[in-house]
Amino acid sequence: MITLEDWALIRRLAAEGVPKAQIAARLGISRTTVIKAVNSESPPRYERASRPTSFTPFEPRVRQLLAETPDMPATVIAERVEWSGSIRWFRDNVSRLRPEHRPVDPADRLSWAAGDAAQCDLWFPPRKIPLENGTAVLLPVLVIVAAHSRFLTARMIPTRKTEDLLLGSWELIQQFGRVPRRLIWDNEAGIGQKGRLAQGVAAFAGTLATKVVQLRPYDPESKGIVERRNGWMETSFMPGRSFVSPADFNTQLADWITTANTRVVRTLKARPVDLLEHDRSRMLPLPPIPLQLGWRERVRLGRDYYVRLDASDYSVDPTAIGRMVDVIADLDRVRVRLDGRTVADHARVWARGSTLTDPAHVETARLLRREFQQPRSASIDADLSRDLADYDRAFGIEGVA
C-alpha cells in the first residue's frame, strides 16, 4: 500500500499530464498502483482486520440490555453480564454500541414570524431570597420572551400557582404593549397538563384573544429561546449580587433586563429593542376591558376576624364578623371587601405561615369585646296590674253571669 503522501503526489502529477509509466518509474512503484491511485475516490488508509476481543463474548448480552433500557449505566450493565475486566474498556465498548439502540430525536430549526409567539417559562435562581419572617427560600421567576425579536421580560412571583402565574403573565405582556398570538408553555401544572388547561387559563387566553400552546414532553427545542435566556440570567445576572427581599430582586432584575435588551443577539445580528416595534406591529391589541385576575374568594368572617390566603393570615375589621366578605389579592396587595366597602388592605406577604395584623383591627376588636362583656340591664315594667277581663276572655267565660 502506498503512503498518503505518495497518493497525493501521484494524483498531482497525473493532473499535470505526466504519463503513468513515468510516474511509476519516478516513485519506484508499479504502473497498476499508479492507475489505482488515480482512479480512487478517497486516500488510502490502513484498516486492521477485526478480531475477537475480551468483550466479544459479552456483546450479545450487552446489546440485549441496551435494547431494553438504552440509558442503563455501563457500570450496571457490567454487573448484569458479570464482567470482570477493565471497566474503562467495557465502558468504551458500551459507548460504541449505545447509539445503535437509543431512539433518535432530531431537533428542527424553527423560524418565528413577527408577532406570532412568546415563549414562557419558570426560572428558579440558585439563591434563596430573604422573606418577611426572617426565612429565606427559593422563589420562581416568570420569564416571557417574544420569539421573533427576543425581547426579554421577567419578574419574580410568590408561587407557581395559577393565580400568580396569570397575574405575572399579564404584567409582563403589558410590557410588550400588545399581545402575542400564541403563548408557548411546557407542562407547567399551574397552566395545564396533559393537554388540559388549568382552571382560569382558558378565560385568560380568551380575554386576550390569544392561544396557550402546551408542548409535548421531551420537546425543549420548541422553547429553546426562553431556556437560553434562563441560562443567560443565571450566568450573567446572578454572579456577585445579593438581595434583601423579592422586591429588591425584581428591581435589580428590571435594571439588568433594560440593558440586556439593548445587546446584539448573535443569531439575529440585531438588538431586541430595535426589532420590538416590528414584532409588536403583528401582535394583537391589548383587551379594552380590565382583566379579572388574581386570588378571589368569598368567605364568612369568623370570630377571630382573620382570612387566609396562600397559607398566610390577614386581619379584617371585626365589625364584619359573621358576614360574607370578598377576599381579593394580586402579587402585591391583599384586600377584603364587605358590600363594596374595604374592610382590610394589607401588603401581601410571601412567607408561608405568616400573620399580618392591622393595629386598628385589634383596637376595634378590644372595644367590641368590652361592650359585649358589659352586663345588660333588664327593663322592668313598672305597671304590674292587669285587667281581670283579659283573663275572662282568655278562658272563654266572657259574658257569663
Domain ranges of the chain: 4-39, 56-101, 117-281, 295-373
Question: For 262-300, what is each residue's pLDDT tens digit?
Answer: 999 998 899 999 999 999 999 999 998 888 899 999 999
Mean pLDDT of 67-92: 93
Q: Which of 63-72, 84-93, 219-228, 351-360 has the lowest mean pLDDT?
A: 219-228
DSSP states along 9-76 = HHHHHHHTT--HHHHHHHHT--HHHHHHHHH-SS-----PPP---TTGGGHHHHHHHHHH-TT--HHH
As a whole number of angstroms, the distance between CA 203 and CA 295 comes to: 15
Residue 185's H or E segment, with its range, is strand 182-185
- With a pLDDT cut of 70, the percent of the chain lying above it is 90
Find cell 369568623 and name the residue: 302
Q: Is the pTM of this model over 0.75?
A: no
Specify the DSSP class assigned to residue 228: H
pLDDT higher than threshold 60 for residue 399: no
- Angle (nearest 5°) at CA 207 between 206 and 210: 55
DSSP structure class, residue 107: -
pLDDT, tens digit, 9 for 90 and up, residues 125-139: 999 999 988 899 999
Residue 120's nearest CA partner among 156, 154, 157 is 154
Lowest mean pLDDT among 105-109, 205-209, 248-252, 337-341: 105-109
Residue in the structure block whose three cell numbers are 431512539 = 103
Q: What is the pLDDT of residue 378?
A: 58
- Residue the block writes with cell 420548541: 222
201/151 Cα distance (integer angstroms): 23
Q: What is the mean pLDDT of the chain?
A: 89
State which fold the 117-281 domain adopts: Nucleotidyltransferase; domain 5 (3.30.420)
